[in-house]
Amino acid sequence: MSVMMKWVFGGLIILSVIIGFIRGDAAAVSNAAVSACGEAVTLCITLCGIICLWSGVMRVAQTSGLTKLTAKALSPVLRRLFHGISPKGEAMQFIVLNITANLLGLGNASTPFGLAAMRALEKEEKSGERATDNMILFVVLNTASLQLIPTTVAALRLQHGSAAPMEILPAVWAVSLINAALTVTAAKIMGAAARRRGAGL
């Protein structure tokens, strides 16, 4: 995937330069490249502060045992979603951390927890080279990214001059809830269909 995206973005950059020269806008392309580099660094620094703050909060929550309480509160739902996973196990703790980070709109901060959760799921379920239903469901749920507070998006809106960066909350809640419901339902249906095909062989 990363190799493919490298070629996609590289191709877009080369194509932009070629079209700029063909249209006689070479100076505009050069100016845009220089100014965009500076804006990208400024944006990265802005997002870095927000992500560091909430990543620290997540670490404090993990160390203080708050994630265990959160896992207990979410256990009725998570137990139904992730069959066979120990509610007190390491995998469930990282799943809770990942979901909590996503709820706060911290997609980048949730990535390390997601990777740790996948390693813990592989160890707990002894999956080997095969992705289990719980692994697939977790990836789907992580990608759907149910959000309560879109922190990163709000930071981007604020960076670009929005007077009310959080006014998108109702739309974010509706879209993320529908997205999560549809993707989880699709994963469950397709997992059940795959098990039926396997049983029929």
Query: What does the pLDDT read at residue 108?
Result: 66
Q: What do you get for the CA distance between the two ends of the chain, in Å?
A: 32
What is each CA distance from 36 to 12, 13, 67, 169, in whole angstroms?
A: 15, 13, 39, 28
Q: How many CB atoms lie within 10 A of CB 135?
A: 18
pLDDT digits (tens, 9 = 90+) for 47-71: 777 777 767 776 777 688 776 676 6
- pLDDT (average), residues 152-165: 78
Within a domain: residue 38? no
Q: What is the pLDDT of residues 106-116, one digit of tens each?
A: 666 677 888 88
Check if the beta carbon of residue 106 is closer than 8 Å to that of residue 100: no
Count of domains observed in the chain = 1
Indicate whether 139 belongs to any domain: yes
Cα–Cα distance measured from residue 117 to residue 41, given in angstroms and rounded to the nearest whole number: 31
Residue 201 clears pLDDT 50, i.e. is over it: no
User: Is 120 within the bounds of a domain?
Assistant: yes
Asked if residue 94 is part of any domain, the answer here is yes
Q: What is the pLDDT of residues 1-23, one digit of tens each?
A: 455 677 887 888 888 778 878 88
Q: Residue 196 domain-assigned?
A: yes
Instruction: Answer yes or no: is 39 within a domain.
Output: no
131, part of any domain: yes
The C-alpha atoms of residue 166 and residue 174 are separated, in whole angstroms, by 14
* pLDDT tens-digit map of 118-134: 889 888 888 777 788 88
pTM: 0.62
Domain that includes residue 61, residue range: 49-200
Lookup result for tokens 């804006």? 39
Residue 60 in any domain: the answer is yes
